[in-house]
Structure 1
Amino acid sequence: MKTLAKCLPISSHHFRSSTIHKQFSQSSSTFSSLSEPLTSQQPILEQIPESSFPNQSANSTDLKEANSQIPISQNPTNLSQSDVINSLSSIKIGPSASKYLEWAEKQPEFSVGVDSFVLLYNLMGLKGQKSAVKQLVSSQKFPDSTTVIQGLNDCSKRFDFALNSRVFNYLLYGYINARRIEDAICCFDWMFENNIHFMVSYLTVLLRVLLVNNMTKEAVELYDKVLGKGIVGNGDTVGMMMGACSKDGKCTEVERYFRIARDKGVKLNPAAYTWAVGALCLKPDTKAACELLMEMKDKGWVPSQGIYTKAIVACVKQKNMMEALRLKDAMVSCGRPMNLVVATTLMKGCCVSGDLESALGLFVKLAEWGLSPNRVTYSVLIDGCCAKGSMEQAFELYDQMTENGIEISVYNINSLIKGCLKAQLLEKAYELFNKAAESGLIDVISFNTLTSWLCRDGNVDEAWHLWGKMVKCGIKPDLYTYNNLILGYCKKGNVTMAHSLYVEMIAKGFKPNVVTFTVLMDGHFRIGEVEKALNLFDEMVKQRVDCTDYTYNTIISRLCRHGQTSHARSTLENFMKKYKFIPSCMTYNIIVDGLIKEGHLDTALSVYNEMGEKGFSPNVSTYTILMDAFCKSNNIDLALEMQKEMISKGVKLDVAAYGTLINGFCKRGDMESACRVFHELCEAGLAPNINIYNTMIRGYINLNNMEAALSYHEKMTEQGIICDLKTYTTLIDGLLKEGKLLSALEFYAEMLAKGIRPDKITYTVLVNGLCKKGKLENARDLFKEMEEKGLTQNSLIYNALIAGYFREGNLPEAFRMYDEMLEKGLTPDKMTFDFLMNANFKPSYQSAKKLLT
C-alpha cells in the first residue's frame, strides 16, 4: 500500500474541531447486510445519506445571495487560474458544483483535478456534494490521491483555511466509486495516520471492495491497523472480515475478530456467530463452540445444519461422543434434518470408542431418516468390525456394498485383510487378497500388510514369495516393504540377507530411515556382531538420519544383554554429550537391570541413586527390577522396604510388581505372606494374571498342599483365565507326586483337548510319574512320542525309565537305555548309579551286560 503520511506532513491546527471528527467516526452504517458478495457492477456508496455528516447545509436565502456574487455565471474567458482560486476562496456559499465543473473542464489552462476539489471543499455546505465528488473523481483528468491531498494541504496553507474531515471522506468515497482501489487505500491510510476521522460505512465498503478483488491480505492488514486504535466497525464489518478469514483458513483471526467485537459490545449477527463456531470447531475447541451454539439459540436464532454438522464432527474428533449425540438431538429438535455426514461421523465415533453395537444401530436407522449409506459409511463400519474382530459382520457389510452397486475400493480390501490377520484368519486373508489381485484392487499397502504380518510371525520365506508376486503384478516395493523384509530376515538370524536388501534399496534410490537402521543394528546385535551394529549407527549419523529415543535405547539395551553394561553406560554418556540425547527413566531401568544380571547389585543401586540426583523419578518398573533382585538374592526384607518407598513416593504397584513379591515369598515357602500380597493386589483393583496364579499353584505344590493349589486353579477358571502349558504341567506334577495318576491324566487329556501340546518338561513330569507308578509301557509310549515330535530327551527321563526297569527287574532294557543315555552325552544321576552298583541286584552289572550281547 502507498503511504502519504511521510510525504504530506500536515499539522493538527489545520483541521477542524474534534467534535466534528467524532461525529464522523461514530456514524453508523446504513447499508444492507454485507454478508453477500459484492459484484463489480453493484453501486457502492449510493445508500450512504448526506445526513451521515453534520448538517451544515445553507438555507435558500444564502444560496440566492451567493449566486449573485459568483463571476462564473458570466462565463468569463479571460480569468486566470489564480483569479478563479482567489474568487472561489472568498466565497462562503456558492452554486452547484456540477455547474462549475462544466465550466472548469472547458478551460484548457485550468487544473481541473486539484483546483476543482478546492472549489468543492469551499462549497461543502451545498446539497448534492457527494454526486459532485463522484463526477469529479470519475474524470480521467482527476489525479491520484497523493497529488490531490498534497494540493489540498498546500491550498489550506495558502489561503489559511482549516481542512475539514468531510472532504477527505468524500474523496475516499469518490475513489471507491471510481474503482480506484490503490488511491482509495492511500487516501484512507493518510486519513488514518493523520488522525482524520472516517465514516465506518466507508471503511466497511472499502474492505468489501478489497475482498471482492481478492485482496484479502490487504483487507486484513487495513482492518488490523484500525483495530489497533480500538475501532472495530459495525456488525457487518466484523462479519465480513470473519467470513473472509474463514475462507482463507485463518481460524485464529476469525476467533480474534469475534472476541474483540463482542468485548467492544458490537451487535453481532447470526453470520458472525456461525463463522466463530466454525473456527472453534476447526481448532478444535468444542466446549467454546457449543457455548456459542447455545448462545445463538438463546437469541432466538436457529443454527444452520452445516454448523451443527461441523460441531458434531469436531466433538467426535475429540472423542466427546456424549456431546456429539446431544448436538445431534438438538439439531433434529430445531427442525434441521439428519444428514449422512452426521450419521456417518457418529458411527465412526462409536467404532473408535469400541461401541460397535451402537454404530450398527445408527446404520439401521438410516432408512428411517430417509438416508442411503455411501462408500464412506460402509468403510467406517467395516473398519469398526475389523477392529473389534467381528469379521463375519464385516464381510456381510462388504457384500451389501457390492449388492447395492457401491464401488469397492482398495482401502476396503486392505481393511479386511488387516482384520483377517488380526483375527488369525490367514486363509481368509489370502483368499481375499488373491481375488482382489485378479480384479486389480490391490496396491503396495496390500502387500505390505501381508508381508509385515508374515515377517513378524517369523514366516519370512512366505513374505519373500509374496514379494515376487508383487513384482509380477507390476507393483513397485516401497521403503516400508524393504523394512518389513529386513526385519523378517533379522528376526530369523539371516542378517546377511537383510544387509543385501539394505544395499539393494539404496541402489534403487530409497533412502534408509531410522527404522531401517534400527532394525539392522538390532539384527547384528542378536547374532553377537556388536561392532557391526555400532558401525551402522555411525553410518546413520553420517547420512544425517535423525535418531529416535527408541534407537538409542535399543543400542543401550543390546549392549546390556551382551554383558557390556559398562560399555552401555559410557555409550549413554556419549549420546547425551554428542547428540543431545535426553535419557528417560526406561533408559536407566535398562542399565540397572543389566548391572543386576551381571551380578553388580551395588552398582545398580548407585545408578538408581544417580537417577534421583539427575531429576529422574524412578517408576514402577525401576522398583520392580530392584525388588526382583532382592528376592532372588534372598533379601525379601529389602524388597519390602522398596515397596514401602514406592508407596511413600506415590508410585502405585502394578501386577508385575505384586507378582515379583508373590514369587519371592513362594520360593521361600512363605505362602502366608504370598497370600497376603495376593489379596493386596486384588484390593487394589488389579486382576491377577496367569503368571501369578501359576506361581501360587507351584508354591502350594512345593509344600505338598495340593488342595490349596487346586483351589487357585478353580479361581483362575472362575475369572475366565485360560490355563496354559505351565499351569497344566505344574498341576500334573503335583498330582503325580501325591500318587493321583488318574487325576493327572485327566488334566493331561484336558490339555490336549484344548490344543495345548506338551513340551520337554511336561513329558519329563509324565514319564517320571508313570515310571514311579509302574506304568512303564505308558511311559515308554510317551518317550517314543517325544522322539517322533523331534523333542530331545533329557537325563531326567532316562534316569526315570532306567530306575523303572530296574524296579521291574528288566535289567537288559535298563542297561540298554543306560548305554543310549551315555551315547547322547547325558549324565546319569546318583540314583541310577546306586541302582547299577548296588550289590543287592543280581546278576551283577557285568553279568547283566553279558545278557545284552
Structure 2
Amino acid sequence: MPFSLSPALTYSCRLCRKFRFLASFSTSCALSTVDCFKEVDSHVSDYPELQRSMWGYAISGDFNSALCTLNLMKIFDGKPTVYDCNALLYFYLKSNNACWQELVEIYMGMKRFGPRPNASTFNTLLRGMSVLGNLEHAVFIVEEMCRSDFVPSFTSLSKTLKMAIKVGNLVHGVTVFELMLRYDYHPSEPTLNKFISMLCQVGMVSKAWFVLSLLLRKGCVYNVFCYNQILWALCKSGQSCVALQLFCWLKKKGFVHSVCSYTALIYGFCREGLQDDVFQWLDLMQSDGCKPNVITHTIIVKFLFDNGKFEEAMDYVGKMEREGCQSDLLTYNVILRELCRRHSLDVISKFIQVMVQKGLYLDSYSYAALCGGLLKIGKTVFACELLQDIFSSGCTVDVALYNIYLRCLCRQNKSREALSLLKSMMEAGFKPNNASYNTILSGFCTEKNLKEAFELLYHFEWDVNWPDAVSFNAILCTACRLGNSTIIQRILYHMRYENLKLNVLSSTCLVQYVCRSGNFSECLKLVEYMMPCSPTPTVVTINMLLHNLCKNQLLGIAYRIFQSVRNTEVLPDMTSYNILIHASLREHNHLLVGQLLGEMRRQKLKPDVFTYGSLINGLCKEGKISAALQMWNQMLLRGVVPSVAIFNTLLHAMFWRGMFWEILSLLKVMVVEGFQPDDVTLRILNQAVLNGSVNKFPKAAKVLEWMICNDIQKETDQRAVAG
C-alpha cells in the first residue's frame, strides 16, 4: 500500500510464533479426550445433548470441560463443526471468566487441526478481544482474518482503531488504519480527529497531513478542526512556512478557515520572531471577516513582552479591551509574569487589585508565574514568604507550585529542610514528580553535600521508579567541579549500569575536569568515545579542549582533533580557528597559519576581530610593523571594527621603534572611530611622554595636546609634563 508508517504488518508472524505452544497444548487436550470419554456414561452419546452440555460449561466459564466436551463430538462423523467451535467461543465470551489465552488456543487449534475458521469465528474472536480490551490480540485477529481472505467489517476495524487510539498505541493504530484504507473504509470524523491528534503529538505531522489529504482525495469532507490540528502542530514545531502553504492550499480548495486557523499561523510567526508577518496576518484575518479572540491577542502580547517591547504590549492590551475583547486570566498571567521579570513589585500589587476588581482571581498558574518570576529576579525570601501565605490560605495548588517552594528553600541552602518538607507532604498524600527530587538533589550539589545527594539518589521513591539523566548529571557535574574522581567513577558506573548516555552537559563537564587535571590522554579517549555516541559534543566542548591543549603547548594534538571533528556533525566555528591561529603564531608556525586561513576561506568563514587581532599581534612581535599596518587596513576595508586591544598592540610596537608619526595617525583614527583608550593605552602614552622621547620628535607633541584635550591624561602626569 502507498500509505505505510511502520513495519506493523510483520507483527502477526511474530505473534504466531509466540503461540506455537498452543498447538501442542491443543494436541494434549485432544489426547486427553480419550480419558474423558471413558469417564462419560455410554448413554451420553447424543450429539444435541453434547452440544447443550458444551454450551452450559462454556457459559459458566468452565473452559476445560467445554473443550473436553467439544472433543467428545468427534465420535460423530463430521463433528465438531465450525459452528460448534463458534458456539463455544460465543457462550464462553458471555461468561465473566473469559480469558484471551483460551480464545487464542481455540483459534490456533481450529487453524491447525480443523474445522477451518470462518468469518463468524473471526468476528466473534474480534468482538471478544474488544470486550477484554486486548488491543494486541485484536490486531492479530484482524490480520489473520485478512490473510484468510475474509473481509473485516467496517464496525470491527473502527472499534479496533478506537481501541488503539484510546490506549495511545500508534503502531497498532497505523496498522488498522492501513487495513481500513485497503477496504476503502473511511473512519468517522471523531475517530479521525483523535488519530490525527495522536500522530501530531508524536511529531509525525507530515504523516498526519498525508492521512487527511488521502481521505480528502477520496471525497471525504471533514470539518475545520481536523486540519487545524495539523496547522498548530506545524507552527509549534517551527514550520510556519509549511503551515502557511497548507493554509493557502486549503483556502484554494474552498475550505473556510476559522479563528483557530489564523491564530495558529500568528502563533508560528511569533514563535519564529517574524513581527512583520504577525501584524500583517492579524490585519488579513480581520479583513477576511474573522475576528481575533482573546487567545490570538494573548499570543501577540506575550510575543511583544518576549521581545522587550513592554510599552507596546501594554498599549496593545488597552487597544484590545477597547475593541471589546476582554482579557482573561491567561492574559493577566502573562502580564504578571512580565512584571515580575521587570522587578515591578509595586505595580504587581496594584495589578492584582485590578484583577480582583474584574472578578479574576489568581489561580495556581498565576501564583506560579508570580513566585517563579520573583525567584528569577533574586527575590527568594519574598517568594518564599508569599508561598507560605498561599499554602496557609487553603488555596488549591499543584505540584509546580510546590516545586517552586522547594527551589526557594534550596536557593537559601536549606536543602535538608526541603527534603524533610517533601517527606511530610508525601505522608499527607502529595505526589511529587522527578522535578521535585531533582530540585532537592541539585540543592545538595550546590551545597557541595554529595553524601546526602547520593542518599537521595538511591534511597527515595522516585516518580518513575528511578533517577533520570538530570539526576545523575547534577552529581556528575558537581563532582567534576570539585575534582572528586571517586564520585565521578561511581556515577559513570551507575550510568552505564542503567544504560544512560552522557549528554552534552555531562560530557562537557568531564572534558573540563580532565583538562584541568592535565590528563590529556584520558581526555582524548573521552572525546573519542563521545564522537560516535548520541548526542555528540557541542562545538563549545571541542573548543574548550582545543584551548587547553594549545595552552599546554600541544598544538599538534589539537590540530589532529580539529581535523577529525570536521568529519562529524560538529563543525568547527570561528572560535575553533582563532584558538589554533593564536597558538600557531605563538609557536611561529606560519605554515599552519596559512593552512587554517585557507580552510576558513573554503568553509566561507570570514575572519573576525579576534582573528585579525592575533595576526596583527604576531606580526608586531616579529617587528613587521608595516605588514601589521597592512593587515590593519585590510581589516578596516572589510568592515571589521577593531578593538582597543588591537590599537594598543600597534601603539606598543610603534612606541618601541620610535614611530611617533604613526602613533599620532593611529590616535586620530581612534578619535574618529569613537574609541576611548583604556588603562593600557594610557600607560603606553605616559611612558612615551615621561622618558623624554617627545623631545626627539617635535611633531609628536600633538600627542600630548590630544591627550589633554580629551581629558584622558592624569593630573600627576600633566604636572610632570608642565615641569
Q: How far apart are residue 609 of structure 1 and its match?
A: 2.6
Distance 1:688 1:194, change over 3 A: closer
Q: Does 1:416 find its partner at 2:300?
A: yes
Structure 2 match to 1:659? 543
Q: How far apart are residue 674 of structure 1 and its match?
A: 2.7
Structure 2 match to 1:371? 255
Q: Does 1:358 find its partner at 2:358?
A: no
Q: How far apart are residue 683 of structure 1 and its match?
A: 0.7
Structure 1 match to 2:388? 503
Distance in 2 of aligned mates of 1:576 and 1:414: 41
Distance in 2 of aligned mates of 1:717 and 1:446: 50
**Deviations 1:445-471 (Å, cap 9, x if unpaired)?**
223334445656777787777656545
Pairing partner for 2:663 from 750, 770, 774: 774
Distance 1:270 1:659, change over 3 A: same
Structure 2 match to 1:543? 425
Task: Report the TM-score when normalising by structure 2.
Answer: 0.66
Whether contact under 8 Å (1:338, 1:369) holds in the other structure is no
Distance in 1 of aligned mates of 2:195 and 2:120: 24
Q: Does 1:20 find its partner at 2:53?
A: no
Q: Does 1:619 find its partner at 2:499?
A: no
Distance 1:698 1:313, change over 3 A: same
Whether contact under 8 Å (1:588, 1:607) holds in the other structure is no
Whether contact under 8 Å (2:259, 2:290) holds in the other structure is yes
Q: Which of 1 and 2 has greater Rg?
A: 1
Structure 1 match to 2:133? 252
Structure 1 match to 2:11? none
Task: Identify the structure with the greater helix proportion.
Answer: 2
Q: Does 1:683 find its partner at 2:557?
A: no
Distance in 2 of aligned mates of 1:449 and 1:537: 31
Size of the aligned set, in residue pairs, is 622
Structure 2 match to 1:280? 164
Distance in 2 of aligned mates of 1:805 and 1:468: 66
Distance 1:412 1:224, change over 3 A: farther
SS in 2 for 1:684: coil
SS in 2 for 1:687: coil
Q: Considering only aligned residues, what root-mean-square deviation do their CA atoms show, in Å?
A: 5.7
Q: Does 1:579 find its partner at 2:464?
A: no
Structure 2 match to 1:176? none
Whether contact under 8 Å (2:157, 2:180) holds in the other structure is yes
**Deviations 1:254-312 (Å, cap 9, x if unpaired)?**
7756755875878743322233233334444455445445545655x543564666655
Distance 1:396 1:605, change over 3 A: same
Distance in 1 of aligned mates of 2:254 and 2:559: 61
Distance in 1 of aligned mates of 2:502 and 2:267: 36
**Counterparts in 2 of 1:644-793, with a 5 A limit?**
653-689=537-573, 691-700=575-584, 702-703=586-587, 739=625, 740=628, 744=632, 763=644, 766=647, 769-770=650-651, 772=655, 774-775=663-664
Whether contact under 8 Å (1:350, 1:359) holds in the other structure is yes
Whether contact under 8 Å (1:520, 1:533) holds in the other structure is no
Partner AA of 1:668 in structure 2: N
Structure 2 match to 1:607? 487
Whether contact under 8 Å (1:352, 1:384) holds in the other structure is yes
Structure 2 match to 1:183? none
Q: Percent identity?
A: 17
Whether contact under 8 Å (2:136, 2:172) holds in the other structure is no
Partner AA of 1:449 in structure 2: V
Q: Does 1:447 find its partner at 2:329?
A: no
Distance 1:290 1:559, change over 3 A: closer
Structure 2 match to 1:477? 362
Distance in 2 of aligned mates of 1:190 and 1:765: 91
Pairing partner for 1:406 from 273, 290, 305: 290
Q: How far apart are residue 364 of structure 1 and its match?
A: 1.7
Partner AA of 1:569 in structure 2: L
Distance in 2 of aligned mates of 1:786 and 1:469: 49
**Deviations 1:721-742 (Å, cap 9, x if unpaired)?**
7998877876786788775468
Structure 1 match to 2:14? none
Q: How far apart are residue 805 of structure 1 and its match?
A: 3.6
Distance in 1 of aligned mates of 2:47 and 2:534: 68
SS in 1 for 2:250: coil
Distance 1:748 1:736, change over 3 A: farther
Distance in 2 of aligned mates of 1:311 and 1:634: 56
Distance in 1 of aligned mates of 2:681 and 2:436: 45
Distance in 2 of aligned mates of 1:338 and 1:650: 42
Distance in 1 of aligned mates of 2:353 and 2:298: 19
Partner AA of 1:447 in structure 2: Y
**Deviations 1:545-590 (Å, cap 9, x if unpaired)?**
55555555555555655xx53xx22222332465356555655555
Whether contact under 8 Å (2:125, 2:141) holds in the other structure is no
Distance in 1 of aligned mates of 2:274 and 2:367: 31
Whether contact under 8 Å (2:543, 2:576) holds in the other structure is yes
**Deviations 1:88-137 (Å, cap 9, x if unpaired)?**
xxxxxxxxxxxxxxxxxxxxxxxxxxxxxxxxxxxxxxxxxxxxxxxxxx
Distance in 1 of aligned mates of 2:533 and 2:284: 57
**Deviations 1:603-656 (Å, cap 9, x if unpaired)?**
x22223323554646736555434434434544344335445667999955434
**Deviations 1:212-253 (Å, cap 9, x if unpaired)?**
xxxxxx97959879969969999689879989998xxx7935
Partner AA of 1:441 in structure 2: Q
Q: How far apart are residue 372 of structure 1 and its match?
A: 1.0
Distance in 2 of aligned mates of 1:525 and 1:748: 51
Distance in 2 of aligned mates of 1:459 and 1:734: 51
Partner AA of 2:420 in structure 1: D
Structure 2 match to 1:146? none
Whether contact under 8 Å (1:736, 1:769) holds in the other structure is yes
Partner AA of 1:579 in structure 2: F
Distance in 2 of aligned mates of 1:685 and 1:614: 28
Q: What runs of 5+ residues in structure 2 fail to find an aligned partner?
A: 1-38, 71-80, 111-116, 656-661, 695-700
Distance in 2 of aligned mates of 1:721 and 1:524: 47
